[in-house]
Structure 1
Amino acid sequence: MENETTPLEKVNNWIKNSVMLKLATITILVLLLLIPTSMITSIISEREFLNNAAVSEVSGKWADSQLVNGPILTIPLVYEYLKDDKIVESVKYWHVLPKSLDINGTVDPEKLRRGIYEIVVYRSALAVNGSFVLDKMPDENNLKTIRWGQAFLTIGISDLRGIEDDVIVKWNNRDLKVEPGSRISDIAYAGFTVAVPDLTDAFGKDLAFGFDLKLQGSQNLSFTPLGSNTNIKLTSAWPSPSFNGNFIPDDRQVTEAGFSANWKVLQLNRNFPQSWIGSGEAEKLQNSAFGVDLILPLDDYQKSMRSAKYAIMTIVLTFLIFFLVEILNGRKIHPFQYTLVGLALSLFYILLISISEHTNFNLAYAVSTCAIVGMISLYSMSVFKMPKLSMLLVATLIGIYGFLFVTLQLADYALLMGSIGLTIILAITMYFTRNINWYKLNIATE
C-alpha cells in the first residue's frame, strides 16, 4: 500500500510524460517567440527608415533624381474676342515639340556615405541634339497675330542644383545664352529658358539645336520623349541598373562592368500631340517619362526583412529536432531549455542586421550563422548528452540557414525555392516519423 501512487503524483507523472501536453507547450512557446520576432522586424524597419532618411539628406545636398524634360519651343499667340461689346485680347502659348530628339550620355556613379549608410549618386554628361519644323499652323479662329519674335525654348531640369557647368545652346549654328527659370512652369516646373531668333521666316524650315549638359543627381535619371522620333543612349559603369517608366530600352546590355541602353520612342508610342495650345497636355508629358535607377541590388535591409519572415520556420524545425530527440531517445528537455534555444534563434536576425550595416551582407550572414549554430550546438551537447545527436542538430541548422541564404540570393525565384524547400522538409519529417505510434507514445523517463 506504501507504493500506491497518489492522485497528485499521477497528475505530476502525466504532466512529465504526456506527448500531447509537450506538443501543446512547444506550440505555445513558438507563438510566444513570435513576439520578439515581430520586434526584430520593427527594428529592421526602423533601421531602413534611418537609411532612407540619410539618402534623402545626402540627395538634398548633392541633387535629387533628375528628369530632363525638353527642349520645348513656345510661341506666344494673341487672340481677340468680343466680350460685352468690347474687344478683349488674350495671349496663349503655342507649344511645339522637336521633330527629332537625340540624347547620348554617360552616367558615372559614385557612392557617398552618411555615417554607416551608403548612398548612390552620379555625374552625367549628356549631348542633346535635334531639330524643330514648323509645318502646321495653330488654330486661326480669332487669331490676331503670332509673335514670332518672342519665341523661346524651355529645357526642364527637375533639380537645378545638379547643373555643373554653364549651358550654351546652339540654334542653327548660333550660340544662345540661357536664362534661369521656366516660363511654362505648368509643363516644366523647373529649368532654364532660351530666347531664340525671330521665327518670322522659319515656317517649313529645319531648325537645328544642340547643347551639352553636365548634370549630377541621385539614384535616378529620367527623360520625357518629346521628339517625334526620340533616341536616347546611355552608358554607365554601374552594374545594377533598373530600367523604369513608360518605356523600356529597345536594346540593353548589363554586365559586371556596367550597362548600356538604347531607347527609341516614336510619336505614335506616346499619348500627346506634336504641338498644342495651353497646358492641357502637361500631365500626359509627366506620365510618359522613362529612365534608369542606379540601385543597390537587393539591399541589406530587404534581405534582412525577408530572412526574418522565415524565423517561424527556423524555430519550428529546430524545436522539431529537440522534440524528436526527446521522444525517441528518452532525453527530457525542459520548456525553459526550448525557450533559450528559441531566443538564440531570434538573436540571429539582430546579429545579421547589425553586422551587415558595417560590412557586406554575405559576410554578416556567415558570422551570424556561425555564432548561433555554435551556441546552440554547444548547448545541445549538455542537453542531449549524445555527440551524434548534437552533430545531427548542427547539420540541420546549417542546412536551414544554407537554404535560407540561397533563397535570399535568388530574388526572382524566392517563392519557388521556399515552397520547394518546405515541401522537402515536410516530406523528410513525415518519413522519419512514419513508424511512431502517437497514441501509445509517452516520453520515456531517464
Structure 2
Amino acid sequence: MEIQSNSSIIDRTQHLVSKSISIKLLVIGFIVAILLIPQSMTLNLIQERQSRMEEAEEDVSSKWSRSQTLAGPFLGVPFYQIKQTETAGQTKTTKELRTAYFFPEDLAILGKLEAQSLHRGIFDVVVYSGDLELNAKFQPLPLGKLSLQPDQMLWDQAALYLGLSDLRGIGENPQIKIDGTTFAAEPFSDEKTLLKGLQIPLQLDSANLGFDFSGKLKVKGSREFQVAPVGKTTQMQLSGNWPSPSFQGEFLPEFRELTEESFSSHWKVLHFNRPFGQEFIGKIPVVENSAFGLSLKLPADQYQQSVRTSKYAVLIIILSFLSLFLMEVFTKKRIHPLQYTLVGFSLVLYYTLLIALSEQLGFQLAYFLASTATVGLLAGYAKSLFGNLKTTALFAGILIVFYSFIFVIVKQQEYALLIGSIGLFVALATTMFISRKIDWYKD
C-alpha cells in the first residue's frame, strides 16, 4: 500500500507539472538557476585561459625585452655645495658633492617600429624592433635658476644620460655624436635618480656655450613603447608596420594615420603640458609618469570578447526557454523538465566550444562555427520534440536572431547599452503580444 501511495504521489506531481502552466514556469525558473552553476565555471575557465596567455606573454617578453620607456637625453654636472655651520662659536665650512641635472631645450625623435608575432604554444605574443634617431639641443646651462656659480661646477666630470627601461633591448652599439664628435656610451644604473640606461662621459667647457646631441639607437621591446617629454619642446614621429596600435600615455598624437598594414603618428609636447621643469638638483622627478607612446597588441583579444559574450549567457538561456515554453503552450506538445535541462546544458556548453575554437581560429570564425553547431543541435532536438518542420524552423530562426544580437552587442562596445536595451524592449514587447491571450490559470 505504501508503494502504491508513493507512486500515486509521484504520478500526481508529474501530472500537475505537465498540466499546470504556473508550476511549469516555476520548474523552468529552477532549471535556469541550476544552470548558473556550470555557467560560472565557464567564466572561470575563460579567466584561467587568459591567465595562461598572460603567462606566455610574460615568458616571451622576459627573454626578448620588456616594454620600453625612453627618457633622455639629459645632462648631469657634479658640483660642490659649500655649507657653513657654527659649533661652539666656530664656523666650520664643508663641501658636499652633488649633481645638477638639465633637460634639453628641444628634443626630436624619429622612430620606426617593426612588429612581429612570436608563438608560445597556441598563443601569439607581439614584439617589436625599432630604429630611433634622436636630436637634442642644449642651451647654455641656466645655473642662476639653481643658485649655482660656474666655479662650483666640475665641468670635466659631466655626463649625458639616456634612460631606457630594459637594457636588454639594445640591439647594437649606439651611435652618439655631440657637436659632430662621436662618443662611446656605457650602461648605468642610479639608485638616487631611479634611472637606468646609457651614460656618455663629457668634458664640458666652463664657457658654458651649450651643444647639439644626435644619436641612433636600435631597441627591442614588447607590448609598449613610450617616451618621456624631457625636452622643453618634445616632438616624436613614429611609424610602423602594425595596423592597430593603441595610443597610450599622458598625451595623444596630434596626427595619426592608420592603414590595413601600417601606422604613422606625430606628437608635440610643450613644457607647459607636463608637471616638471627643466633643471634640478640631486634628483630628477619621475618623468616616466608623463610618458606617451603606444602599445602593440593583437587586434582582437578572444578572451575579452568571450567574457563579454558569456555575460549574456543567462539572457540567452531565459529567452530560449521562454521561446520553447511558448511553443509548448501553443502546439500542445508537452516538454519534460529533463528536456529543458538538456537544452540548457547545450546552451552552456556553447561557451566552452567558443573558447576552444577561438584559441585556434580567432573569435569571429569561432563564434560563427559554435553558433551554427549549437543552433543545428537544438533545431534537430526541437524536431524530435515537436515533430513539425515549421515549428522547428521557427525555433531555429529565433536562436539565430539571439546569437546574432549578442554578436552585434559584443562588437559594438560603445553602443552595447543602447542596442541591448532596444533589443530587450522588443523581445519583451513581442512576448507580451504573443502571450496576451494565454489563460495562465488554466490547467
Report the TM-score, using the length of structure 1 for normalisation: 0.93
* Distance (Å, rounded) in 1 between the aligned partners of 2:127 and 2:419: 34
Tell me the distance in 2 between the aligned counterparts of 1:309 and 1:48: 16
Distance 1:398 1:11, change over 3 A: closer
Give the secondary-structure state (helix, strand or coil) at the position aligned to 1:372.
helix
- Correspondence 1:120 to 2:123: no
State the partner residue of 1:166. Answer: 173
Q: CA deviation at 1:427?
A: 1.8
Shift of 1:12: 5.5
User: What are the Cα deviations for residues 192-251 of structure 1, in whole angstroms up to 9, with x where unaligned?
Assistant: 1001232312x2x34100000111100100000000110000011111111111111111
2 CA distance for matches of 1:141 and 1:107? 42
Please give the secondary structure, in 2, of the residue aligned with 1:357: helix
Match of 2:155 among 148, 161, 169: 148
Indicate the larger mover: 56-65 or 362-371: 362-371
Q: Which residue in the other structure is 2:430 paired with?
A: 428
Structure 2: where are the runs of 5+ without partners? 1-7
1:80 maps to which of 79, 82, 85: 82
SS of equivalent to 2:143: coil
Whole-angstrom distance in 2 between the partners of 1:155 and 1:10: 84
**2:39 is matched with which residue: 17, 37, 40?**
37
For residue 162 of structure 1, what is the amino acid of its counterpart?
A: G
Residue in structure 1 matching 2:411, options 396, 406, 409: 409
| CA distance in 1 between partners of 2:149 and 2:69 (Å) | 36
Instruction: For residue 414 of structure 1, report the CA deviation from its aligned partner.
Output: 2.3
CA distance in 2, matches of 1:342, 1:274: 65
Runs (4+) of structure 1 exceeding 6 A deviation are 141-144
Q: Which residue of 2 aligns with 1:318?
A: 320
* Conserved? CA contact 1:227–1:267, under 8 Å: yes
Could you tell me how far apart the structure 2 residues matched to 1:185 and 1:155 are? Answer: 15
Unmatched 5+ stretches in structure 1: 1-6
Counterpart residue number, 1:3: none
Paired amino acid for 1:264: K
State how many pairs are aligned.
431
Alignment partner, residue 179 of structure 1: 186
Distance 1:107 1:90, change over 3 A: same
Does the 8 Å CA contact 1:77/1:143 hold for their aligned counterparts? no
Q: Give yes or no for contact 2:73–2:136 (8 Å, CA) kept in 1.
A: no
Indicate if the aligned counterparts of 1:122 and 1:218 stay in contact, CA closer than 8 A: yes
| Within-5 A mapping of 1:48-67 | 48-67=50-69
CA distance in 1, matches of 2:151, 2:94: 11
- The aligned amino acid for 2:218 is K
- What fraction of aligned residue pairs are identical, expressed as a percent? 38
Q: Is the 8 A contact 1:78 1:143 kept in 2?
A: no
Q: 1:189 aligns with which of 174, 187, 195?
A: 195
**For the structure 1 residues 421 and 228, does the alpha-carbon distance in structure 2 shift closer, same or farther, using more than 3 Å as the test?**
same
Distance in 2 separating the partners of 1:316 and 1:269: 52
Asked if the contact 1:68–1:223 (Cα under 8 Å) also holds between the matched residues in 2, the reply is yes
* Counterpart Cα distance in 1 of 2:402 and 2:307: 17
Instruction: Determine the C-alpha separation between the residues in 2 that align with 1:333 and 1:169.
Output: 79
Q: CA deviation at 1:11?
A: 5.8
Distance 1:185 1:260, change over 3 A: farther
Q: Which secondary structure state, in structure 2, belongs to the residue aligned with residue 191 of structure 1?
A: strand
Residues 38-437 of structure 1: matches in 2 within 5 Å? 38-83=40-85, 84=87, 85-138=91-144, 139-140=146-147, 145-182=152-189, 184-201=190-207, 203=208, 205-279=209-283, 281-283=284-286, 285-437=287-439
Instruction: List per-residue Cα deviations over 1:159-200 (Å, max 9, x = no partner).
Output: 001100101210011101111113x44435220100123231
What secondary structure sits across from 2:415 in the alignment? Answer: helix
Q: TM-score scaled to structure 2, two decimals? A: 0.93
Instruction: State the shift of 1:141 in Å.
Output: 7.0
The code of the aligned residue for 1:273 comes to G
What is the distance in 2 between the residues matched to 1:188 and 1:252?
33
